[in-house]
């Protein structure tokens, strides 16, 4: 095993981790505001389609990612309207969006490209760096910015307050609904970056393959913390990279090797029992004023 192979393993791992990590980072913002965002999977389906569609249509991957961020935010907005304003159970809203996203992406693909399950190849790609999609290198700075925003800014303090005790936030004159909308929309926007790092050269129905859910697991393993969530995503991402690169080289049946990342996820989460503490008001709709 030479040095360049090891280097490649490390950068490839970063690339494979990125879609999960950006979504996990988004989940942190949503959940710290008190909204469980299981819709991440659906939002990723929409953003992965949008980035390819916009890049092909507008001949620019940069416009593609911009549109993906906007599309992610809009789908998240639906989740916010349904679960924050109308106080529908957040899981139900999220599942509905996930189902809706599958249909919507296929419908649009059929309308725009004449084929339901995949788009043509997109030739407008991000520049490569060290042999991988350069967008993946944004992950570390964005994680640090996320940490800074959450713990060192007024917005972050208020967002966390709303996730812990919306009633207290209300009595302090904070805008509970506004802050929760912000948290959810940030999570949608970050799913735009997930799309940028997943596979922007072509959209295929089902390509997200549950990464939105893995991102939620990573966020829990990362204890609802931006840096923790990204580190957990890296663990899952590198486990997957290991599988991809060594599957054919070890004398264990492939099926077992493929199970590795998922078994790891289960073991890791089981080990977390009693240690992780969700924001106190996470998942609970809040009704303002006169009750």
Of positions 66, 100, 125, 170, contacts other proteins by CB under 8 A: 170
Q: Cα 54–60–64 angle (5° rounding)?
A: 35
Question: Does the protein bind other proteins through residue 208 (CB under 8 A)?
Answer: no
Of positions 160, 176, 214, 221, contacts other proteins by CB under 8 A: 160
Question: Does the protein bind other proteins through residue 154 (CB under 8 A)?
Answer: yes
Of positions 144, 252, 266, 280, contacts other proteins by CB under 8 A: 280
Of positions 130, 174, 264, 276, contacts other proteins by CB under 8 A: 174
Please say which residue, 172 or 263, places its beta carbon nearer to other proteins: 172
Question: Does the protein bind other proteins through residue 245 (CB under 8 A)?
Answer: no
Q: Cα 276–266–262 angle (5° rounding)?
A: 135
Of positions 89, 116, 167, 287, contacts other proteins by CB under 8 A: 167
Residue 133: which H helix or E strand, with range?
Answer: strand 132-133
Q: Which residues, in sequence order, are CB contacts of 195 under 8 Å at separation 6+?
A: 19, 44, 47, 48, 50, 51, 65, 68, 72
Question: Does the protein bind other proteins through residue 199 (CB under 8 A)?
Answer: no
- Write the CA distances from 20 to 36, 91, 144, 244, 280, integer angstroms: 16, 20, 16, 16, 25
Please say which residue, 158 or 180, places its beta carbon nearer to other proteins: 158
Of positions 12, 79, 158, 211, contacts other proteins by CB under 8 A: 158
Question: Does the protein bind other proteins through residue 277 (CB under 8 A)?
Answer: yes
Tell me, residue by residue from 4 to 43, as one string, x for binding to other proteins by CB under 8 A and - for no binding.
----------------------------------------
Smallest separation, CB 156 to other proteins (Å)? 8
Task: Let me know how long the chain is.
Answer: 291
3-class SS string, 70-95: HHHHHHHHHHHHHHHHCCCCHHHHHH
Do residues 40 and 25 touch, judged by C-beta distance below 8 A? no
Smallest separation, CB 157 to other proteins (Å)? 6
Of positions 135, 169, 186, 198, contacts other proteins by CB under 8 A: 169
Residues numbered 40 to 69 that lie near other proteins (CB under 8 A) are: none
Question: Does the protein bind other proteins through residue 157 (CB under 8 A)?
Answer: yes
Distance CA 135, CA 154 (A): 29
Name which of 285, 281, 84 is nearest 180 in CA terms: 84
CA dihedral 195, 192, 46, 230 (to 10 degrees): 70
Measured from the Cβ of residue 107, the count of other Cβ atoms closer than 10 Å reads 11
Please say which residue, 169 or 190, places its beta carbon nearer to other proteins: 169
Question: Does the protein bind other proteins through residue 171 (CB under 8 A)?
Answer: yes
Residue 179: which H helix or E strand, with range?
Answer: helix 176-198
Question: Does the protein bind other proteins through residue 161 (CB under 8 A)?
Answer: yes
Question: Does the protein bind other proteins through residue 227 (CB under 8 A)?
Answer: no
Residue 216, CA atoms < 13 Å, CB-side half-sphere: 16
Smallest separation, CB 160 to other proteins (Å)? 7
Please give the residue ranges that form the binding site for other proteins (CB under 8 A). 152-155, 157-158, 160-161, 164-165, 167-174, 277, 280, 289-290
């Amino acid at each position: 095993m030479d040095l360049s192979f090891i280097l490649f393993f490390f950068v490839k791992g970063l690339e494979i981790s990125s879609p999960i990590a950006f979504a996990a980072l988004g989940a942190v913002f949503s959940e710290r505001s008190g909204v469980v965002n299981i819709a991440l999977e659906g939002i990723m389906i929409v953003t992965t389609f949008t980035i390819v569609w916009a890049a092909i249509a507008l001949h620019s991957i940069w416009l593609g990612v911009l549109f993906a961020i906007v599309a992610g935010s809009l789908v998240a907005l639906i989740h916010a309207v349904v679960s924050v304003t109308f106080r529908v159970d957040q899981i139900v809203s999220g599942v509905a969006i996930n189902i809706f996203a599958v249909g919507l992406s296929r419908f649009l693909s059929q309308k725009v490209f004449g084929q339901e399950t995949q788009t043509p190849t997109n030739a407008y790609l991000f520049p490569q760096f060290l042999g991988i999609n350069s967008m993946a290198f944004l992950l570390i700075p964005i994680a640090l910015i996320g940490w800074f925003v959450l713990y060192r800014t007024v917005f972050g303090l208020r967002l966390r307050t709303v996730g812990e005790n919306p009633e207290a936030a209300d009595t302090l004159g904070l805008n509970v609904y506004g802050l929760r909308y912000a948290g959810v929309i940030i999570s949608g926007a970050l799913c735009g970056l997930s799309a940028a790092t997943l596979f922007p050269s072509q959209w295929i129905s089902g390509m997200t393959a549950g990464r939105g859910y893995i991102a939620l697991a990573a966020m829990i393993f990362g204890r609802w913390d931006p840096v923790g969530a990204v580190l957990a995503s890296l663990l899952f991402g590198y486990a997957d990279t290991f599988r991809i690169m060594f599957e054919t080289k070890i004398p264990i049946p492939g099926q077992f090797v493929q199970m590795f990342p998922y078994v790891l996820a289960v073991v890791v989460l089981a080990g977390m029992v009693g240690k992780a503490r969700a924001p106190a008001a996470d998942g609970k709709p809040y009704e303002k004023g006169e009750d």
